[in-house]
Amino acid sequence: MRDGGHVRSVFVIARPAERGSGYIPYIRVDWTRGFRPLRTFRDKGDRVYRDLNRLIGLLRGEFAYLGEISLFVSGDPELKRFRTLLPTDRDALASESDKHEALDGDAPEWPEADKP
């Protein structure tokens, strides 16, 4: 971004953490395709923010991004449309879909006369 690039879009995933929630930003920039998670210095790990206000401040201030920021809860089925999820977020999505499939399988059948 130092060389004139800019952020095109952003979404954030809220994960449960030890103390409250952790927020992981995924950023789409103009010099590459797709969303990329924000990583720590030298790509040593996921950059997890404990304070959503600080994250928004970084995006608005340092990155000069003024567009829409979508916030998802970890495991939200809407996340299936994004290809580049971190393994933790992909696993949460899979476990949520397994829960829904299990619940759907346990649902009682409607008698033919009572079907809506």
Digit-coded pLDDT (tens) for 72-116: 998 888 888 887 888 888 888 777 655 544 434 444 454 555 445
The pLDDT assigned to 108 comes to 47
Q: How far apart are CA 95 and CA 16, in angstroms?
A: 14
Residue 104: enclosing H or E segment and its boundaries?
helix 87-106
Look at residue 23 and tell me whether its pLDDT is greater than 90.
yes
27-75 pLDDT tens trace: 999 988 889 998 888 888 888 999 999 999 999 999 999 999 999 998 8
20: exposed, middle or buried (Cβ count in 10 Å: 0-12, 13-18, 19+)? exposed
Sorted by sequence, the CB contacts under 8 Å of residue 76 that are 6+ apart come out as: 93, 96
Q: How far apart are CA 112 and CA 116, in angstroms?
A: 9
Of 92, 100, 99, nearest to 75 by C-alpha is: 92
Look at residue 10 and tell me whether its pLDDT is greater than 90.
yes
Look at residue 6 and tell me whether its pLDDT is greater than 60.
yes
Average confidence score pLDDT of the chain: 81
